[in-house]
Amino acid sequence: MRGAPGGAPRVDGDHHVHSTFSDDAVSTLVENLDAARHAGLAVIRMVDHVRVTTTYVPEMLAAVRALPAVDGLQVLTGVEAKVLDASGAIDAPPQVLASLGSPDGPDRVLLADHQVPGPDGPWSPATATRLIAEGRVTAADVVELVVTATARAVQRAGRAQLAHPFSILPKVGLAEDDVPDDLLDELARVLVATATPAEVNEKWRCPGPRVTDRWRAAGVTLVASTDAHRAADVGVYRWVGAVA
């Protein structure tokens, strides 16, 4: 955060930006870099989606490293993978996870709650909603699965970043307010112990002030991200500035 005219804080980093290495993004690495330069960012993290079967990561990292240097701009790397199940398994190639933080690997894995990490594998929002409606699980069960699986995935990874924490909850009819303080504090302890940053995400508008205030007080590192899938959105914050 940097000071802006009139004393208001200005977010000067974007820790989650996708390129055309992700199927759902439209801007190249070069276009994203140029957007970060125009936005006056000090940090950008180039991130793309992976699954266990993904093979492009070495190519993507080589392309990032080949980008021209921009004065005052630090370029970081990452891969985004979902938390698969209640054990904290991560949907990323094992060799990529093993290389995190090494000269040949990405800096971090961004752990995403795209689905509910159930005991038998990922539950889609429709599946989780149906299980709640049928009384087979409770809303509290779903919340606990999300939080505890995320904590386990953070510990497995060693070098993670939380991507849009709790974004899955509204998709199953729940909200951040349904996460009790003790679970928030449990996850915060893991984040602090592993030096894992948590995003405040512009695209998904999460986590909100209750969570960010509690985590900040616990010593969690909070980083701003747009989750941009096109260069025009890199470093553009409307919601995050008010929260972070």
Strand pairing category for 121-123 and 160-163: unpaired
Phi, psi for 28 (deg, rounded to 5)? -80, 170
* Average pLDDT in the chain: 95
222 has pLDDT over 60 = yes
The confidence band for 11, taking pLDDT boundaries of 50, 70 and 90, is: confident
140 has pLDDT over 70 = yes
Can you give the residue range of the structural domain that contains 202?
2-243
- Structure confidence at residue 241 (pLDDT): 80
| Straight-line distance from the first to the last Cα atom of the chain, in angstroms, rounded to the nearest whole number | 9
What's the domain count of the chain? 1
The confidence band for 87, taking pLDDT boundaries of 50, 70 and 90, is: very high
Give burial (CB, 10 Å; 0-12/13-18/19+) of 155.
middle
2 has pLDDT over 80 = no
130 has pLDDT over 50 = yes
- Structure confidence at residue 85 (pLDDT): 98
The confidence band for 10, taking pLDDT boundaries of 50, 70 and 90, is: low
209 has pLDDT over 50 = yes
Stated pTM of the model:
0.95
- Structure confidence at residue 207 (pLDDT): 97
Question: What is the percent of the chain where pLDDT is above 90?
Answer: 94
Spatial distance between the Cα atoms of 158 and 196, rounded to a whole number of angstroms: 8
- Structure confidence at residue 8 (pLDDT): 39
- Structure confidence at residue 244 (pLDDT): 60
Q: In this structure, what CATH number is given to the domain that contains residue 182?
A: 3.20.20.140
